[in-house]
């Protein structure tokens, strides 16, 4: 099959098993004709998604105004960021005693740099009070959320990545102390990133990227929760497909909430609610496959 041939060219069997550990993985690279290959988790691979460092650019974007799916502009609609639109569908699940179930009512936060490698709301970046590329969604009954963001650019010392945080609350009440708090980072295949940085504006206005996945301390490092001793980023790498001038990716995040309980956090915490389940756990269908090539029509309304 074409999909399997492409997979073998891009990753080793070991890599595939590692990626499968993070859930229902749609193995689609630029140039694949269709999505849909699903890889089962290997018994020797940690079942839960590795926790990775929060980083210094979380600013507590937990207010109701940040509850949005399209992150490309400031909250007031100004300063729309240019770059390659990225449609990201995530499924969040909880694993308990080896059983994986969907996690509804979980707050999923994303934040990342723009195409030129700049975070919003950072004084040192001269973006104070800007709010682009920050926001959250709440998982539905199947543990799913969808975002429209941008393929991130790069900045010195880090490979290209998106920060993700998941929080749950007692009785789904964000005014109470969070019952769990999980942070990780989502990565991209370096070949895809190189293609975007070389061919897409405004990414191609900059040169000199100094860090790739293989030299990034977070990607090659250990998970904070002990689930992985090294190369944690291999378990949180997104597989991107082209779709009519847009990019699409999906990711299944599997959390062991018992490892991320935060009973001592202040009321209101950083902002987000609780758990629940995707139907059939790993047995449910992966997020819908994208059409192939940048030649397809863009998604409605974008």
Taking only the tens place, the pLDDT of each residue in 218-272 is 999 999 988 889 999 999 999 999 988 999 999 999 999 888 876 554 333 333 3
Question: What pTM does this model have?
Answer: 0.73
What's residue 172's pLDDT?
78
Q: Are strands 241-243 and 246-255 parallel, antiparallel or unpaired?
A: antiparallel
Q: Are strands 237-238 and 134-138 parallel, antiparallel or unpaired?
A: unpaired
What's residue 128's pLDDT?
93
What's residue 60's pLDDT?
76
What's residue 47's pLDDT?
73
Helix (H, G, I), strand (E, B) or coil at 215: helix
- Intervals of the chain under pLDDT 50: 1-45, 265-302
What's residue 27's pLDDT?
27
Is the Cβ–Cβ distance between 53 and 22 less than 8 Å? no
Helix (H, G, I), strand (E, B) or coil at 37: coil
What's residue 263's pLDDT?
57
């Amino acid at each position: 099959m074409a999909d399997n041939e492409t997979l073998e060219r891009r990753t080793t069997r070991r890599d595939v098993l590692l990626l499968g550990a993070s859930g229902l993985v749609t193995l689609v690279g630029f140039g694949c004709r269709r999505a849909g290959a699903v890889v089962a988790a290997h018994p020797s691979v940690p079942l839960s998604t590795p926790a990775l460092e929060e980083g210094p650019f979380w600013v507590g974007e937990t207010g109701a105004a940040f509850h949005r799916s399209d992150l490309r502009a400031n909250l007031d609609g100004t300063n729309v960021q240019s770059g390659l639109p990225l449609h990201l569908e995530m499924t969040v699940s909880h694993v308990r005693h080896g059983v994986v179930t969907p996690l509804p009512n979980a707050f999923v936060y994303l934040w990342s740099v723009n195409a030129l490698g700049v975070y919003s709301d950072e004084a040192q970046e001269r973006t104070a009070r800007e709010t682009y590329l920050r926001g959250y969604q709440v998982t539905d009954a199947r543990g799913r959320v969808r975002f429209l963001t941008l393929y991130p650019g790069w900045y010195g010392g880090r490979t290209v990545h998106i920060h993700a945080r998941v929080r749950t609350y007692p009785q789904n009440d964000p005014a109470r102390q969070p019952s769990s708090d999980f942070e990780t980072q989502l990565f991209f295949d370096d070949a895809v990133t190189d293609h975007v940085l070389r061919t897409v504006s405004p990414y191609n206005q900059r040169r000199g990227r100094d860090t790739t996945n293989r030299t990034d301390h977070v990607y090659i490092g250990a998970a904070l929760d002990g689930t992985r001793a090294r190369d944690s980023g291999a378990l949180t790498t997104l597989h991107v497909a082209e779709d009519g001038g847009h990019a699409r990716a999906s990711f299944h995040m599997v959390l062991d909430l018992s490892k991320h309980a935060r009973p001592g956090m202040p009321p209101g915490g950083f902002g987000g609610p609780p758990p629940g389940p995707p139907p059939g756990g790993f047995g449910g269908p992966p997020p819908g496959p994208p059409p192939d090539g940048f030649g397809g029509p863009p998604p409605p309304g974008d």
